[in-house]
Structure formats: C-alpha cells, structure tokens
Amino acid sequence: MFTGITVDRGRVAAVESRGDTYLTIETRLEPRDLAEGASVACSGCCLTVIAAGPGWFRVSASAETLACTTLGRWQVGTEINLEPALRLGDTLGGHIVSGHVDGLATLIEARPEGDSVRMLFEVPAALARFVAPKGSVALDGVSLTVNRVDGPRFGVNIIPHTLAATTLGRVGPGDVLNFEIDTIARYVARLMGKD
C-alpha cells in the first residue's frame, strides 16, 4: 500500500528481456526500503524488489504488467516516480494507493495557471465513472485531487513542488501515464453492483 506521495525520481539504468522483463533502477531510496521482497511503486505500478545494491534495485515485470501499464515503453534513461511501501505509523499524506494500475490516462492539454499547471487528461470510458470532482486519482503514482470532470476527461492542478519533484513536470500533450482510480470508488461501485 502507498500514499501517492512519491519521494524519489529514479532512472531506468538497464532493461533485460528474458522470459519476463527485468528493470534495474537507479535511486536515492533508503536501503531499508529496498530489501528483497519489498514493494516499491514505480510510476504507480507496485513492483517487487528482487535484488538491490547501493543506489539501485532490480524488479521484474510480466507480460501482463507491460501490456497494462507504461512499463513496456520504458528504456534506459526513462525517469520514474518512486515511493516505498507505507509502513505502519507513516503519515498518509495523499490517499490510499494500491499500486494496481487500472489503465492509461492521456494528457490532452497542459496550460499555466498562476505558478501551477492545469492538466486535462482523458481515460477510457469504462474508468471515467470512477472519477469525481474533489476525488482522488493517482497518475504515474502521484496522488492528485480532481478539479473537474467532463465525460472521460478530468482536470487536475499541479503545483510547482509536484512539477519539480516528480516526472509530471516533463509530460506533454499526447503522453500517457499510469492511472489508478481511488480505492474507495472501486469498492463503492462493487457494492452497488456497478462493476
């Protein structure tokens, strides 16, 4: 479980395909967060650490993960948002994020608004019903508050800190991001029989 408050911007250092795909990621995360078997949200996708050393860790991604997320597009040099798993007693600064990517969101428009940037995204119609004004979403692992919703499109406001500390400051129209709906919205829909 994660909060959507990313703490490092890592970089893909190696990609190796042999059965599954193995990714080596450079990071400033603490060694205690990178023990073998630990979970790390990598641009919103929960992956398991299979090896680690000073300043790096390795994960594997299955064909299903590559098909349903942006991981299949990653190459050496790709920057990614990183967040270690939530520990008991940690502050829940964002919202509850599982690291189970629901689909991809496409950036339609980004325009300055004061010191921030207003971004408009579009998601598949099947996921749009889970997005609500003032609700939460995770985009590439970053917890964000939804400002407005119009069909399959929704807007978020990205503050300067988030633009600088995450990969969101480097995206442009047409780029796709890993998208996770709010866990509460998922269960409410299930309980109402609308899944």
Dump pLDDT digits (tens) for 96-149: 899 999 999 999 999 999 999 999 999 999 999 999 999 999 999 999 999 999
Sign of the four-CA dihedral 159, 163, 167, 168: positive
Per residue in 43-67, pLDDT (tens digit) is: 999 999 999 999 999 999 999 999 9
Q: What is the pTM of this model?
A: 0.94
pLDDT for the residue numbered 87? 83
Domains observed in the chain: 8-84 (2.40.30.20), 103-191 (2.40.30.20)
Whole-number Å distance between alpha carbons of 71 and 74:
5
- pLDDT digit string (tens) for 149-171? 999 999 999 999 999 999 999 99
